[in-house]
Amino acid sequence: MKKYFAVALGVLTAIGGFVDIGDLVTNALVGARFGLSLVWVVAVGVVGICVFAEMSGRVAAVSGRATFDLVRERLGPRVGLANLLASMAVTLLTFVAEIGGVALALELASSVNELLWVPLVAAAVWVVLWRARFSLIENVFGLMGLALVVFAVAVWRLGPDYAALWHEATHPTKPAGEGLPTYAYYAVALFGAAMTPYEVFFFSSGGVEEHWGTRDLATMRANVFVGFPLGGLLSVAIAASTALVLQPAGIEVDTLAQVGLPVAVALGKLGLAVALLGFFAATYGAACETGLSVGYSISQYFGWQWGKYVRPAQASRFHATLLLCSIVAAALLLTTVDPIKVTEYSVVFSAVALPLTYFPILVVANDPDYMGDRVNGRLANGLGSLYLVIILVAAVSALPLMLVTKAGM
Amino acid sequence: MAAGKDPIAASPVVAGRRYDAALHLLDRQLVDPDGRLVAKVDDLEVVEGADRRITLTAVLTGPGALGPRMHGRLGEWMVAVWSRLHPAEQPRPGRIPMGDLVRVDSAVHVGRRTAGLGVDGSERWVREHVVGRLPLASDEDEPSEQHPPTMEARQARERADDDVAGRRRMVHLLGLPVLGPDGVRLGFLADVRLAPTSGVEGVLPRLVVDGLVVDGRHVGSMLGYDRRARQGPWLLRRIVRRIHRNAGYLPWDAVETVDWDAGVVRVLRSDLDPLDVATR
């Protein structure tokens, strides 16, 4: 019974924790501009994150080593350091975007300007990183994030022609009036949002935090293979809701309020309140995850003690990093940069950094010295190799597309 | 190790697990008996004995050991900042003698607790000056944490460290050009294979260099694909093997000399053995 409870809890938090500010904004934006014609990218991205999250989780459970530990071990100190700097920059950018997202959600709820919330939010996130238990971070925000199911309810209440939606999603065509580079640019952004590297840093380090062993592999796989696709469905629901409400009206999404607009149209104030709760939980939880991920990756590179499973004084350099990150994030947001813009850039740079993370995982998941007889099977290797090629294409094309389309103008 | 005596008794190589220095030891996590993370294996210390055998003597940690492995400006800068911040006049990298190691798997396991190893200077400093002063940090500390190694203990340890003359670092060996009998370059030293001897260092057998992995290219590791013919995935294996198609293995008896000053390895053969052999 306890076992089933653990699996259910893990799946639920995986669903609620899947969506972060990047998924929220990118899906809403893409839904409003391209309808459901880019849903296939979400599907491709979700399968990809499942393949690599399972691999990194399995490596963590079998060998006790988290992702960045392996990055340096396999790529050496020089390439490892370049990788660390790039991954940390992207994760820190995502961290900034998440904190900005929490502040925006609070602004929507309170009408108090986002900038006034930023220092408070950064401090509150740091307090959670400093004192809260790991399981608390994962479970509370993951479960609260389920409030985003309200987007699926909103789609249902809007009573769309499901056959037409299904046809649009399965027979994707570029909408008239949008250029092919723009379409490709948003495809890459959506892919980057679904496969953000911090997800595997956090997932594998979390496995070490919770002392996973080989007996936990089944639970881990249930979380990944059930939770992540359902989380992906939530992403699709967000895109569908903006496609139904905003696209016909010709409204483009560039504020968090517009992301929540379809819910308000379909379900009124109460629905909007639930959506706001979902925004808050999803961004706050992801802020904690990205903040921890920055600390995890730098500590794992240098071999420092890290983790919430020891007391803060025992992992002092790790906690000093977390404190520094929180201060830097607040400082960056207080320059009045628009968190939504930061989010849009963070998902594109995520796409650029993807191979850095996923390549070493694929190599180590095949190494019997680490994995014994739990090395990748044919399916994991086939999909892993295929995705490595897709990831490389996305990474190489991301920046040129950004320049050509002036970031999706 | 007593002063004066050649620390490297010439003990014969025996059967047992072999390690590749770069693939299996460098950049692995060091873990103490409580499961605490100590540091990374930033470099390895080796000593060349009277019989020219090269023995592994210690694991080196910290920026002072990592910096030289970065090569170039960045490495110099790392070492410079580290020695400026270090309290000692002429700082040395953290050193854990081979006798303190107990096991090598996905991590390198140390037999002593972190506090007794004396390699956690920066962790201690950040704890005392930053993290320990934050609100709610004042948990009761573990007793062992209360007794950092005294200055005398540290000095005694450093004197013991000084005993072995001719200590070298792995970073100065890896990457050296390998020259054949007629001075033709066969490639660069990509890795060294370490074999156990009948001598013992703590609980592990003493490890000596028993062969060289030579690669035609100077850059790019083989990611472990050199050691096994069947390691997947197929695509990566093909690419890595293609890039490193000129790589091969040389047993130790084919090595003439390691010329540390000139920075070359001279060998007696011009043909390399295939890599998959002699792994176990």
What residues of chain B lie within 8 A of the CB of A311, using their CB? 139
Q: Are A364 and A74 in contact (CB under 8 A)?
A: yes
Instruction: Look at B233 and A381 and tell me if their CB atoms are within 8 Å.
Output: yes
Decide: helix, strand or coil at residue A322: helix
Under the banding of pLDDT at 50, 70 and 90, the label for residue B148 is low
Amino acid identity, position B51: D
Give the distance from residue B142's alpha carbon to the nearest chain A alpha carbon, in angstroms.
Answer: 10
- What does the alpha-carbon distance between residue A35 and residue A177 come to, in Å, rounded to a whole number? 13
CA distance A128 to A124: 6
Query: Which neighbouring-strand residues pair with B43?
Result: B60
B71/A320 CB distance under 8 A: no
Backbone angles phi, psi at B237, to 5 degrees: -60, -45
Look at the block and give the residue holding tokens 């920055």. Answer: A294
The C-alpha atoms of residue B116 and residue A220 are separated, in whole angstroms, by 37
Among partner residues B36, B107, B124, which is closest to A64 by beta-carbon distance? B107
A283 lies in some domain:
yes
Candidates B48, B83, B262, B250; CA nearest to B176 is B262
Residue B250 predicted with pLDDT over 80: yes
The answer to whether the CB of A97 falls within 8 A of the CB of A22 is yes
Say which of B61, B126, B235 has its CB closest to residue A317: B126
**Distance in angstroms (rounded) separating the CA atoms of residues A45 and A351:** 11
Shortest Cα distance from B223 to chain A (angstroms)? 6
What is the DSSP pairing of strand B185-201 with strand B54-61? Answer: unpaired
- Does residue B60 sit in helix, strand or coil? strand
Mean pLDDT of B251-277: 88
This complex has an ipTM of: 0.88
Cα–Cα distance, B104 to B101 (Å, whole number): 8
> pLDDT digits over A115-128, tens only?
999 999 999 999 99
Residue A167 in domain: yes
Average pLDDT over residues B75-87: 91
The single-letter code of the amino acid at A80 is: G
Residues contacting A293, CB < 8 A, separation 6+: A91, A198, A201, A202, A205
- Token look-up 């379909």 returns A266
Q: Chain B closest CA to A309's CA: distance in Å?
A: 10
Task: Enumerate residue ranges in chain A where pLDDT < 50.
Answer: none
User: Model confidence over A58-105: pLDDT tens digits?
Assistant: 999 999 999 899 889 888 899 899 999 999 999 999 999 999 999 999
Task: Sort out which chain A residues have CB atoms less than 8 A from B24's CB and list them.
Answer: 369
CA A117 to chain centre: 23
Backbone angles phi, psi at A148, to 5 degrees: -65, -10
In a domain, A409, yes or no: no
Q: Are B231 and A302 inside 8 Å of each other by CB? A: no
CA dist., res. B141 & res. B125, Å (int): 15
Distance from CA of A89 to the nearest CA of B (A): 18
Structural domains in chain B, CATH included, are: 19-167 (2.30.30.240), 175-192+201-267 (2.30.30)
- Asked if the C-beta of B36 comes within 8 angstroms of chain A's C-beta atoms, the answer is yes
Which residues of chain B lie closer than 8 angstroms to A382, CB-CB? 233
**SS3 label, residue A273:** helix
Q: Does A167 touch chain B (CB under 8 A)?
A: no
β-pairing verdict for B94-97 and B54-61: antiparallel
A388 touches B at CB < 8 Å: yes
Chain B residue with CA closest to A383: the answer is B233
User: CB-side exposure of A193: number of CA atoms within 13 Å?
Assistant: 33
Q: At what angle do helices B72-85 and B63-70 cross, to 10 degrees?
A: 160
Residue range A147-196, pLDDT digits in tens? 999 999 999 999 889 999 999 999 888 888 888 999 999 999 999 999 98
- Mutation site for B-interface testing, chosen from A52, A70, A204, A367 by largest number of B Cβ within 10 Å: A367
Asked if A33 and A247 count as a contact pair (C-beta separation under 8 A), the reply is: yes
Say what the pLDDT of residue A138 is: 86
User: Residue B138 has what pLDDT?
Assistant: 62
Work out the mean pLDDT of chain B and round it to a whole number.
83
* Mean pLDDT lowest among B55-64, B243-252, B254-263: B243-252
For range B179-198, the mean pLDDT = 91
β-bridge mates for residue B54, sequence order:
B48
Residues in B closer than 8 angstroms to A320, CB to CB, are: 126, 130-131
**Alpha helices, DSSP H, located in A215-373:** 217-222, 228-249, 256-302, 316-333, 339-364, 368-371
| A31 close contact with B: CB closer than 8 A | no
Amino acid letter, residue A214: T
Q: In this complex, which of A130, A303, A316 lies closest to B127 when CB atoms are compared?
A: A316
Mutate to test the interface with A, among B29, B30, B79, B117 (most CBs of A within 10 A): B29
Residue B4 has pLDDT above 50, yes or no: no
Is residue B28 less than 8 Å (CB to CB) from chain A?
yes
Using alpha carbons, select from A232, A222, A149 the residue that is nearest to residue A194.
A232
In the predicted structure, residue B12 carries a pLDDT above the cut 70: yes
Q: CB B136 to CB A69 under 8 A?
A: no
Element (H, E) at B95: strand B94-97
At residue B143, the pLDDT reads 45
Partnered with residue B104 across adjacent β-strands are: B108
Amino acid identity of residue A209, one-letter, is E
Residues of B in contact with A128 (CB under 8 A): none
DSSP, collapsed to helix, strand or coil, labels residue B246 as: coil
Q: B136 CB near a chain A CB, below 8 Å?
A: yes
Spatial CA neighbour of B234 closest among A368, A384, A74, A358 = A384
User: Closest Cα partner for A300 from A73, A132, A49?
Assistant: A73
Give the list of residues 6+ apart from residue B262 with CB closer than 8 angstroms, or none: none
The larger pLDDT score, comparing residue B28 to residue B116, is at B28
| CA-closest candidate to residue B172, choices B21, B8, B5, B10 | B21
Q: For residue B20, what is the nearest residue in chain A, using CA coordinates?
A: A369
3-state secondary structure of B48: strand
The distance of B243 to chain A (nearest Cα, Å) reads: 15
| B223/A316 touch (CB, cutoff 8 Å), yes or no | no
Q: In this structure, what are the phi and psi dihedrals at residue B119, rounded to the nearest 5 degrees?
A: -115, 15
Q: In Å, what is the CA distance from A48 to each residue of A281, B99, B217?
A: 25, 45, 33
State the DSSP code for B195.
Answer: E
A375, A368 in Cβ contact below 8 A? yes
Q: Does A1 touch chain B (CB under 8 A)?
A: no
Distance CA A93, CA A196 (A): 12
Helix (H) or strand (E) holding A167: helix A162-170
Q: How many domains does chain A have?
A: 1
The CATH number linked to A205 is 1.10.4160.10
Search chain A and give the residue with CA nearest B142. A314
Domain that holds residue A223: 2-404
